[in-house]
Structure 1
Amino acid sequence: MKNKLEIKIILSLCFVTIITAVTAVPLQSAHAFSWPCIDRSDGKAPIAVSDDNVYVAWWGNTTGNYEVMFKASNDGGKTFGDKISLSNSTNGTSVEADVAAFGNNVYITYADNKTGDADAYIRTSNDNGKTFGPEFKLTNNSDSSLTSSSLPQGMKSYDNVKTSPYELKVAAEGDNVYVIATGGDKNDTTYQPDVFIRVSNDSGKTFGKDINLSESKGIVSERTEIGVLGDKVFVTWWDKGSDGTDTPLLRISDDRGQTFGDIIDLSANATDSNTTNTTSS
């Protein structure tokens, strides 16, 4: 199954999204078309540690559909509590789980298509993973500025081309929670994926507007990573040019993800470093 592109799976499992607000902030839609989608069988088991607490999440199929599972240890990994299903997606498939922790708080993000649309979700625990609050949807695929005339030939409507958020990742520091994903900007008619971030400064209760970090129309931006330290946020990704060349890039925020500095080309030497003046806020 790995590395195979299956058309039926693309429409239901590969998503393209902009990470969006949990509460009052209007959610932007994303779009994209064909790129290799995540193989459901290529599951990972992300881990996070905070003091003596160890948290592990994964996705697996034991009931006929993929679910996001979670286990917690509160004694440094000597023992673990019972397995918890966080997605409870009896009518859909849940994949791409990630986990972050800070203090007593645990954050799990994942992608799911149980509503018929591909969406990103987050669940939060405030008691070291013993219990989790309700599921919050981070995306809203129905809010689209696309029209039929703007779609490629053969695409009748936005609903026909929805795919799933992928490379969904979460990081936490203090009260700040950062979610990044690769998805399509609805204003980019080249339909190539960009890298987006949404930030919460109140432990995941609300999220601000999305920021397009890659801003790379016509270029594939993916393979994202995120790191945080104090007020600083570091996001890396790769841009694939039309000639097939890969370029590792970095953007840094010094104000807890409110704004980001220029794009830094990591492949360049110090004497010929090429940064792009694209400060975002």
Structure 2
Amino acid sequence: MTRPHIEFIHAQQLEWLASDLPTGIDNTLCKTLSLDPNTGGISCIIQYPQNWHASHVPALSADHELLVLDGSLQIADQTYNVDDYAYLPAGSSHRNWKSDSGGTVLTFFSQGPNICEKNKRRSHLAINHLDVNSMKWSSADVDPDVAFLRISHKILRYNKHTGDKTLLLNCGAQTHPTDWKEAALSHPCVEEMFLLSGDIIGERGIMHSGAYFWRPPNMWHGPFGSRQGNLCLIRFLEGHHENIWSKEKFSFSLTPKYEPELPNHLGHLRQAEYKPTEQF
């Protein structure tokens, strides 16, 4: 993958555009969060209109990973409602792909999603449906050095051979490092995050619901905290996740400046810090 470092933007800052999906699965709107210019791999939010139906799509050439944010979607007779998750490897059946009520779906394609014939070469990796709300939270294997964040997680997908992992992460409210200082950390893999609710406060600013980042391997980041707590979807890619801590500790603030790392095509957002609608 050759995606640029994006840390961070808010989906609310992006326009809904006609999707570039192939004929047969087009007629949707899309917000592109990040894109691999070489493979066509894309992370995006797709908006399906009411009564949308794909015309003759046996399968896709790309892995298709999804979490329903609003509405509902149906693929191969499986209905996905709000908070439902799936990982459909390339070649998985996509027949009867439709949305009667319309839906907004957080979507990840591993490469350009061309239409192809169904095959079962990677069917053993499929996660056809998870009702995420019925899963239990766990704090197993959480790094004790981030215990101050009161982290719990739900593992949605894990490939022990490649290290690829998708999880929901929940952090507590009014959390910050002890004595307001903590080391930075890095990972030897890509980390990708979409913030479903709450806030995350870090060295690059304050992320609100709808925030997104794509962080390449071995990039120092943190420390972090939160005022409201948060719920986010995280993907680790291109290697096994490991926390590597810096020797130096850094000061943490609840009111950092917005200092994003953005590629040129998103550069205009550097001067347009997103602030959510007033709550009171």
- Structure 1 length as normaliser, TM-score? 0.29
- Structure 2 length as normaliser, TM-score? 0.29
